[in-house]
Amino acid sequence: MSALLWALVALPLGAGVLLLVVGRRADRAAPGVALAVSATALGLAVAAAFRHPSARAPFLDGLPMRLTVDGLSGLLAVTVTAVTLVVLLFSAAEFGSGEARARFFGLMLLFAGSMLVTVTAANLPVLLMGWEVMGATSWALIGYWWRDPERTSAADTAFLTTRTADLGLYLAAGAALASGGGRNSSLSLDGLARAEEPWLSFITAGVVVAALGKSAQLPFSFWLSKAMRGPSPVSALLHSATMVVAGAYLLLRTGPLLDASGWGDDVVAWTGAATAVLLGLVAVAQTDLKQLLAASSCAQIGFMVLAAGAGATTGGTLQLVAHAAAKSLLFLAAGAWLTALGTQQLPALLGAARHHRTVGTAFTVAALSLAGLPPLSLWAAKDVLLAGALERSPWLYAAGLAGALLSAVYSAKALWFVWRPAVARPDARRIPAGAVWPLVLLAVACVALVVPAFPPVRDSVSRVLAASGQPAPHTWEFVLSAGLALLAAAAAWGWGARPLPLAARVKSGPADWLGLERAAHVMLVAPTMRLARAAAAFDDKVLDRAVDGSASATVRLARWTNDVVERSLDGTVGAVAAGTRALGRWARRPQTGQLHQYLAQAVAAFTVLAVVLVLVR
Amino acid sequence: MIRLLTALVFAPTAVALLLFALPRRTAPAVFRAVWVAASAVELALVVVVWAGYEPGGGMQFEERARWIPGAGVSYHVGVDGLSLPLLALTCLLFLACALYSLRENRRIREFAALFLFLQTTCLGLFVALDLILFFVFFDLSIVAMYFVIAGWGHRQAARAALKFFLYTFIGSLALLLGFIGLYLAASPHTFDIVELTEQNPLAGRSVYGALVLLAVVVGLAVKTPTVPFHTWLPPAHVEAPAAGSAILAGVLLKMGTYGFVRIAMPILPEAWREYALVLVVIGVVSVLHGALVALAQTDFKRMVAYTSVNHMGYIVLALGAAAATADSSEQARSLAVTGAVTQMVSHGLLTGALFLLAGVLHERGRTYDMGAYSGLAAVAPAFAAMTGVAAFASLGLPGFSGFVAEFQIFTGSLGPQPLATALSVLGIVLTAGLFLRALRQVFTGPLRLPDAPGTPRVFPDMRGHESLSVAPLLVLAVVLGVAPRFLLDVVEPASRSVLELLAR
């Protein structure tokens, strides 16, 4: 059993590393290898989802590497491998032989493999390993075209932002070990909720921050905007089944922890709702298709995060899977148009859907699903999770509906542009056929995934997820959200490309992603750099100068010793010698050689002696 | 197994003497070949020691001979789980440097002999079980490194070498003072580390113990180095030749941290526990200050040098945090000490690799200034890939040894020292930032090479011998990051016994 699980994670990771190590010599073989590997991984993931294997290997002291597949992990693993396979199918047709394909496909496999580690991890060290390797791989993928400084700078922003949030997981691991004397000494994810205060709050805060950062929720959302600089297949994978959904997955997984902390669930639910609304507004304000889609990813994942906070595990998972299908399709279509038409600006994409009918239709299916229109998958999934929000608080439900409304607006906006009457495009390139049918596959998934959102399949999903007592939406909720979405979409369609009659200042906020990146720069990056320069100056001007100063002080002391002490010592010695010589001269004076003078001296001496003797006696 | 350790320690010096016995006109290739062969044999010897070592068996391969019995000094050597990994690291790094220097032409005979002698001093220090023996090797290593920097360094090498020598030499005098303090406190008087550890001579004498600890810690802190005793490090690294930097950072810095776990913690447990908070503070300050100053650098080698201060700070933090006996689990403390030893090995591998790579950069472009380069990945993909891997490993990415070390340190230290650990975790974001910035500046973007007069126009990719020296270090870092058991099985029993000794 455990061999199955090891194979599931080791196969993509190993093949990815191998392709990277071999490098350009493997360019020709890379797509084939990657497709074979990801197809096999999909098979393994399906098998694992049914058989629920676990595996463990010794790692650190009392902290083994533990992997396990339960209902949630199984569903996620299948989603990850399926989306990876489709995205790689598209890339195999799309990525020309001039590109460094071994690097691309190797990194994509590594990316998917680390996501598989993340979703199958049973304890914190393993989760953190998958989690951070995924971040680093996303850095390499976003900066894949490294000659362009804007792309590499975007990659740096993405990695640094997510890593800053990842610190939460490092701290959570330490806190979990510190709490409660070894009750959770293997740091298992299931056991986190058993910790005691204050460690419990510490752990919750760490996990929540890490998850929000990875999922580009508020206030971390800006990195996802920059992550768009990567190749489109990267965006398709990064936004749908890996990376950004990892945070939502972690929150769904650690639901008991959020409950136990007493505050985590509310914070998470409201952050999700706020992201769904505010980033929905951001999406509406975008004029670049990929930027619109990126903001919508934040907003849609906001729904999953909301679900995790509201305890609607089934709804959140359904949303995750349905969104994965829709969003990967949308990004692949955007990428296909980018290659064919050379633009991703909405005003320049007028009539794009009419040029490539199949791509246009597939794009439309996904966009309608994103808009929350029946009978498509995201419509139903959203209502399943919003039922949980309604149970918790009507305000939360209202915020969710507002987010849903905005989804309809931005989806309709994108559709309006691409379905305008066709413009003549003499220099448009053909979209290769091999790149089209993966899109069709995903479009079918967008439709088919509506089935699990309704009983009886929904009940079996809940059973698989071991989520009992899941709130069930009433019929009116489905009708309400469908009606609202329809109205909003129709209004947005009718409005078209006319500018909104709002002040430029009001509009610039959402268009600029709420100024989050600038805020991060002003509040964190710039002060850190100033501090760094101050520390360097302190090092050079104070510490190092003190060391050099003490050395030169020693030299000065030596000189002073030489000049002053040494001279005075020598002078003393000379003075002693001179004194002795003077004494000698004095002593020579009485020695005249005349006998009568010697006699007189003797008499004087004896007299003195006699006087002294008399006085002393 | 007769006198295996003595052979291991003194064989390089014997080979060095042999090099001088060869006639001066011998082809340089012969000297290089002998050097590489000797280093390879040393590595093989250390593998033999590792194979014969029994994890959890305490001190092994012990040898003891009379040396200066009147002063309680003896030639006493042995290995345990703390020293064995460092012995292996030393031999591996010296082999890497020998391979890297296969194109070195300047006075190769003296260069090789100096490195072989340096290897003796490093190995000798790690096996020494007598304070005076330890001190002798400690000082001889400084002497040998002085000549390496002064003789084969860059333009301002003489000054940097002098600063390095004087600073660390003064540190070693503090160390000697502390050793004499221990000798006088012991009864019967002895310099033997094992006997002193058993005696715990300063138990119950808090002022005396504090003074001796102060002397020992200052001596070791200069060598480690920790803030504020670190300012000799950047000039020494910037001016030293690549192989010298790799040994200086990879092995010589470990002498300081090794001294903490071998001498300060087991022999002065009371004082260590009492002043653990001071060490924690020094550790955190080193972590943050080192990372911040590194972030402000524009010189690649200087930046890597400052990351050493940061990485050594984690070790000091962990060793300080491990002293909290009351409010943390045994598992946490064991993780902290094991993490510290793992960090010594990991830092040795990664910084060794980074300094060798910095040497490659300088050899091509004649400058370490990052602003002078851009887009090197276009002309030197293998160099870019290796530097990228080394940088990510050094910033603590999982899958590499740095993560295994730092995760253990953080997880083990957070319970006893939450605030300090939470602050020092920020260090991994700062190192991430500085390495990413360096990679972006040097390797990505449009191609640009320094064009000072006399600079070669082309930037050749990694040559065979350079790859051969760097790649094994990186591969080992990956192995340690994915399957660290073979190392941890050796280290964990030793760190547990350090903790037992510390709890007395």
Q: From the CA of A161, how many Å to the nearest CA of chain B? A: 9
Cα B485 to Cα A253, A546, B399, B491, distances in angstroms: 29, 45, 14, 10
ipTM, 2 dp: 0.93
Final residue of a structural domain among A544, A568, A597 = A544
**Residue A259, in any domain of the structure:** no
Q: Using CB atoms, pick whichever of A62, A164, A175 lies closest to residue B331.
A: A62
Beta-ladder partners of A54:
A68
**Residue A121, in any domain of the structure:** yes
Residues of chain A with pLDDT under 50: none
User: A478 and A536: one domain?
Assistant: no
Element (H, E) at B380: none
Class of residue A358 by CB neighbours under 10 A (exposed 0-12, middle 13-18, buried 19+): middle
pLDDT of A181 reads 55
Chain A neighbors of B377, CB-CB under 8 A: 146
Is the C-alpha dihedral spanning A51, A57, A59, A62 positive or negative?
A: positive
Q: What mean pLDDT comes out for the span B82-111?
A: 93
pLDDT of B117 reads 96
Cα A143 to Cα A110, A155, A242, distances in angstroms: 15, 5, 17
pTM for this model (two decimals): 0.92
**Residue A559, in any domain of the structure:** no
The single-letter DSSP state of residue A26 is G
User: A476 and A520: one domain?
Assistant: no
Neighbouring residues of B274: CB distance < 8 A, sequence distance ≥ 6: B206, B209, B210
Q: From the CA of B474, how many Å to the nearest CA of chain A? A: 13
Tokens 């959904």 belong to A245
- Tens digit of pLDDT for each residue in B387-415? 999 999 999 999 999 999 999 999 999 98
**Residue A326, in any domain of the structure:** yes
Q: From the CA of A19, how many Å to the nearest CA of chain B? A: 13
User: A532 and A465: one domain?
Assistant: no
Q: Using CB atoms, pick whichever of A129, A133, A170 lies closest to residue B410.
A: A170
User: A279 and A155: one domain?
Assistant: no
pLDDT of A460 reads 87
pLDDT of A1 reads 67
pLDDT of B453 reads 63
**Cα–Cα distance, B423 to A196 (Å, whole number):** 22
Q: Are strands B60-68 and A54-60 parallel, antiparallel or unpaired?
A: unpaired
- Tens digit of pLDDT for each residue in B182-201? 999 998 899 999 999 998 98
Q: From the CA of B177, how many Å to the nearest CA of chain A? A: 21
Final residue of a structural domain among A149, A165, A197 = A197
**Residue A54, in any domain of the structure:** yes
Q: Are strands B60-68 and B73-79 parallel, antiparallel or unpaired?
A: antiparallel
**Residue A260, in any domain of the structure:** no
Tokens of A529: 């750099």
Helices B330-365 and B300-321 pack at an angle, to 10 degrees, of 170
CB-based contact B334 A59, cutoff 8 Å: no
User: A489 and A413: one domain?
Assistant: yes
Let me know the angle formed at the C-alpha of B314 by B308 and B318, rounded to the nearest 5 degrees. 150
User: A135 and A100: one domain?
Assistant: yes
CB-based contact A178 B432, cutoff 8 Å: no
Q: Using CB atoms, pick whichever of B289, B408, B443 lies closest to residue A60.
A: B408
Chain A interface, best mutation among B436, B485, B492, B499, by max A CB count within 10 A: B436
User: A424 and A456: one domain?
Assistant: yes
Helical ranges in A196-312 per DSSP H: 199-214, 222-227, 232-240, 244-253, 255-261, 264-285, 289-310
Counted domains in chain A: 4
Tokens of A434: 């091999």
**Cα–Cα distance, A422 to A403 (Å, whole number):** 32
CB-based contact A536 B418, cutoff 8 Å: no
User: A462 and A526: one domain?
Assistant: no
Beta-ladder partners of B68:
B73
User: A72 and A143: one domain?
Assistant: yes
**Residue A230, in any domain of the structure:** no
**Cα–Cα distance, B195 to B201 (Å, whole number):** 10
Chain A interface, best mutation among B414, B480, B489, B498, by max A CB count within 10 A: B414
Q: Do the beta carbons of residue B135 and residue B172 sit within 8 Å?
A: yes
Closest residue in A to B475 (Cα) is A21
- Tens digit of pLDDT for each residue in B465-482? 999 999 999 999 999 999
User: A443 and A540: one domain?
Assistant: no
Neighbouring residues of A574: CB distance < 8 A, sequence distance ≥ 6: none
Q: What mean pLDDT comes out for the span B33-54?
A: 95
Residue B181 has pLDDT above 80, yes or no: yes
- Tens digit of pLDDT for each residue in B244-289? 999 999 999 999 999 999 999 999 999 999 999 999 999 999 999 9
Closest residue in A to B229 (Cα) is A543
Q: Using CB atoms, pick whichever of B292, B378, B492 lies closest to residue A532.
A: B292
pLDDT of A4 reads 93
**Cα–Cα distance, B319 to B276 (Å, whole number):** 8
Chain A neighbors of B399, CB-CB under 8 A: 129, 133
- Tens digit of pLDDT for each residue in A166-213? 999 999 999 988 886 556 777 888 888 888 888 899 999 999 999 999
Neighbouring residues of A223: CB distance < 8 A, sequence distance ≥ 6: A157, A158, A161, A162, A216
**Cα–Cα distance, A111 to B42 (Å, whole number):** 40
- Tens digit of pLDDT for each residue in A333-388? 999 988 888 888 888 888 888 888 889 999 999 999 999 988 899 999 999 999 98
Class of residue A326 by CB neighbours under 10 A (exposed 0-12, middle 13-18, buried 19+): buried
- Tens digit of pLDDT for each residue in A260-279? 988 999 999 999 999 999 99
- Tens digit of pLDDT for each residue in A522-573? 899 999 999 999 999 998 899 889 988 998 999 999 999 999 998 999 999 9
Neighbouring residues of A546: CB distance < 8 A, sequence distance ≥ 6: none
User: A522 and A466: one domain?
Assistant: no
Parent domain of A393: 268-500
pLDDT band of B25, cuts 50, 70, 90: confident
Q: Using CB atoms, pick whichever of A61, A175, A529 lies closest to residue B414.
A: A175
Tokens 């040393």 belong to B42
- Tens digit of pLDDT for each residue in B116-170? 999 999 999 999 999 999 999 999 999 999 999 999 999 899 999 999 999 999 9
pLDDT band of B56, cuts 50, 70, 90: confident
Q: Using CB atoms, pick whichever of A61, A156, A164 lies closest to residue B440.
A: A156
Chain A neighbors of B228, CB-CB under 8 A: 543
SS3 A56: strand
User: A384 and A310: one domain?
Assistant: yes
**Among A182-191, B90-99, B168-177, where is mean pLDDT lowest?**
A182-191
Share of chain B above pLDDT 70, in %: 98
Q: Average pLDDT of chain B?
A: 92
Helices A199-214 and A244-253 pack at an angle, to 10 degrees, of 150
CB-based contact B407 A529, cutoff 8 Å: no
Tokens of A236: 């398709």
Closest residue in A to B163 (Cα) is A548
Q: Are strands B60-68 and A63-68 parallel, antiparallel or unpaired?
A: unpaired
Final residue of a structural domain among A134, A162, A197 = A197
SS3 B79: strand
Is the C-alpha dihedral spanning A23, A28, A31, A34 positive or negative?
A: negative
CB-based contact B426 A167, cutoff 8 Å: yes
